[in-house]
Amino acid sequence: MDHTDPRLVPFSVRRNQHGDHEYVRWSERRDVRNASSGSAIATAYWWSSGSRIIDADIVFWDGAFKFFTGSTECANGFYIADIAAHEFGHVLGLGHSTVAGATMYPSVSSCATGNRTLAPDDIAGVEALYPPASNPLPLAPTGFRIVS
């Protein structure tokens, strides 16, 4: 893989030897990927205690797929923001959606940018797992202008 091409984002998430910090490691290994089918672009793992998530990791299978940043210049790969949005949904507890176009839909096309925008189905799923507070925050004051 050409590490001089700034559009490519080849990396893997790994734990250090003490198991207490995550870090990003550059990798060109093609033998490290989803053993069940080989088709996963990324995989979310989480650990819980009761109903509380205590840790989560996302592995992007960079040995088999190209990842790009931004929203232009993708070629035969995937935008990391879109794949990450889907995997973060799993970390939050969402399963796959049957609604085409939802971020949690189980498949994505190469170079697609739709997953970075949540569909109503995605929002409803998160709100079902994490209901809005019964006492909503007060509304922001009106009539003020922000000056920078």
**Residue 21 designated active-site:** no
What is the chain's length?
148
**Residue 96 designated active-site:** yes
Sort strands 78-79 and 67-68 into parallel, antiparallel or unpaired. Answer: parallel
Q: How far apart are CA 96 and CA 112, in angstroms?
A: 18
Sort strands 52-60 and 42-49 into parallel, antiparallel or unpaired. Answer: antiparallel
DSSP letter (8 states) at residue 116:
G
Q: Which of 3, 18, 22, 86 is catalytic?
A: 86
**Residue 90 designated active-site:** yes
Who contacts 118 (Cβ-Cβ below 8 Å, separation ≥6)?
85, 103
Q: How far apart are CA 61 and CA 67, in angstroms?
A: 9
Q: Which of 22, 73, 96, 127 is catalytic?
A: 96
Q: Is 37 helix (H, G, I), strand (E, B) or coil?
A: coil
Q: How far apart are CA 39 and CA 37, in angstroms?
A: 5
Show which residues are catalytic. 86-87, 90, 96
